[in-house]
Amino acid sequence: MTGVPPDGQGGPPAYVEDLDKPALTDEDRHHLARVLRLRDGDSLTVGDGLGRWCPARFGSNLRIAGEVVAVPPPSRTVAVGFALIKGGRPELVVQKLTELGVDHILPLATERSVVRWNEAKIASQHERMIRVAREAGMQSRRVRLPEVFPVAPVVSLVDAAMAQPGGEVLDADVELLLVGPEGGWTPEELQERRRISLGSTILRAETAAIVAGVLLTALRDGRMAEADGKRGDPAR
């Protein structure tokens, strides 16, 4: 049946590959049993990460305890691309963008990025970021997980707007917003793309990516009205 996301009253959430034959991963089972202290017969909700969920009962085998609910997708999808940053900060960005409800997350290779990953690092970090998104999706009770893309060059994303000081105010025409490194974009990367302001201050790269997610999802979900003006305050 069609419905809404779980309200949190039916126990903690977990993801499974198949709602017809739900099975927890060893890691999720350990977390539910050892950290959240679920016991045999306790309630939880299980979802496929694609918009479908149902109530269940915990135990050695999960037991479905109600109908499968299909949650309609959002009216439109939004995406944030962010330049690679040092340390564990890419994972932080993926975590927060997932919690905010961003639909597509794109790590970017830019001309002025300090971080350079080889092919093996790109593959391993992509897997890691997918796991981070999954964990954040469970924490934030998302029924539809974001798509996390492998690292891509900025020039390959032709329909994107760019976060840039002095740019325009964000509007609903922008569905993909790219946030550059702390060294900024090169003229070749900016080209003739739309330039969007994120506010009146200069932000760290990871903060700017999170702000982009806040603005995009708030505008999509009707929590923020479109501005009348087209010019924004200078910001990253």
* DSSP character string of the chain: -B-----STT--EEE-S-SSS----HHHHHIIIIIS---TT-EEEEE-SBSEEEEEE-SSS-EE-S--EEPPPPSS--EEEEE--STTHHHHHHHHHHHHT-SEEEEEE-TT-S----HHHHHHHHHHHHHHHHHHHHHTT-SBPPEEPPPEEGGG-TT-EEEEEEEEPP-TT--EEEE--TT---HHHHTT--EE---SS---HHHHHHHHHHHHHHHHTTSSPPPS-SB--S--
* pLDDT value for 236: 45
- Between CA 211 and CA 85 the distance in angstroms is 16
Asked if pLDDT for residue 232 goes beyond 60, the answer is no
Q: To the nearest 10°, report the CA torsion of 110, 115, 119, 122.
A: -90
Portions of the chain given CATH number 3.40.1280.10: 79-220
pLDDT (average), residues 28-33: 94
* pLDDT value for 234: 39
pLDDT (average), residues 104-127: 89
Q: Tell me the CB-side half-sphere exposure of residue 62, using CA atoms within 13 A.
A: 29
pTM: 0.90
* pLDDT value for 83: 94
Q: How confident is the model at residue 235 (pLDDT cuts 50, 70, 90)?
A: very low
Q: How many residues does the chain have?
A: 236
* Angle, CA 13 vertex, CA 126 and CA 88 arms, to 5°: 30
End-to-end CA distance of the chain: 44
Asked if pLDDT for residue 158 goes beyond 90, the answer is no
Tokens of 4: 């809404």
* pLDDT value for 34: 94
pLDDT (average), residues 209-227: 90
Q: How confident is the model at residue 159 (pLDDT cuts 50, 70, 90)?
A: confident
Portions of the chain given CATH number 2.40.240.20: 13-70
CA distances from 73 to 54, 101, 124, 193 (A): 17, 11, 30, 28
Q: One-letter amino acid identity for 193?
A: R
Q: How confident is the model at residue 220 (pLDDT cuts 50, 70, 90)?
A: very high
* pLDDT value for 227: 63
* pLDDT value for 160: 95
Q: How confident is the model at residue 89 (pLDDT cuts 50, 70, 90)?
A: confident
Asked if pLDDT for residue 72 goes beyond 80, the answer is yes
**Residue in this structure with the two tokens 């299909």, named with its chain if needed:** 70
pLDDT (average), residues 126-131: 95
- Between CA 97 and CA 208 the distance in angstroms is 11
CATH of domain 79-220: 3.40.1280.10
Asked if pLDDT for residue 233 goes beyond 70, the answer is no
1 versus 30: which is more confidently predicted?
30
Q: One-letter amino acid identity for 70?
A: A
Q: What is the mean pLDDT of the chain?
A: 91
CATH architecture of 13-70: Beta Barrel (2.40)
Asked if pLDDT for residue 30 goes beyond 50, the answer is yes
- Between CA 135 and CA 60 the distance in angstroms is 22
* pLDDT value for 107: 95
